Copies of this chain bind each other. A is one copy, B any other.
């Protein structure tokens, strides 16, 4: 059994993590909202922009979203003309999401801006601190995932 101090330390880490993430995400959302997108839409476009066409199923796996939610987001992006659905000829169960030229143009403009915004948002830490935090967060994330 963990000592009271160890437990309190974990509790504190949980609280501090929640707060910090809330502050960070708020800024990130503000940034993305400037582009007329929400974080999920941005994540989907970023995936298609950087990794090419994806089966709708795969998108859900990569950005950790339920299939019904993906349908919703892809619908919205299709209405905005940033992507189109393309049926897969080999497997008629599958539909690809494919970024349009409009989507490409949008992303090639805003992705660099987004990276600058992230650079500012994470400006509280220097490079070494970021490297270290990445390492520790991976450890933490893997452990939590495997429970």
Binding site for B on A (CB under 8 A): 1-2, 6-14, 16-17, 19-24, 26-28, 64, 115-116, 118-125, 127, 129-134, 136-145, 147
Contact (Cβ within 8 A) A12 B134: yes
CB-CB under 8 A from A139, the residues of chain B are: 124-125, 129
Q: Cβ of A23 and Cβ of B145 under 8 Å apart? A: yes
Q: Separation in Å of the A2 CB from the closest CB of chain B?
A: 5
Q: Is the CB of A10 within 8 A of B130?
A: yes
- CA distance in complex: A123, B132 (Å): 18
Nearest B residue to A8 via CB reads B115
Nearest residue (CB) in B for A129 is B136
- CB < 8 Å: which of B118, B125, B144 contacts A20? B144
- Contact status A20-B147, CB under 8 Å: no
Q: Could you list 16 A-B pairs, sorted by A, with CB under 8 Å?
A: A7-B119, A8-B115, A12-B130, A13-B137, A17-B21, A17-B137, A20-B138, A20-B141, A21-B141, A27-B144, A121-B143, A121-B144, A122-B143, A129-B136, A129-B139, A133-B133
A13-B133, A17-B21, A130-B13 known; A121-B147 Cβ under 8 A: yes
CA distance A123 to B14 in the complex (A): 12
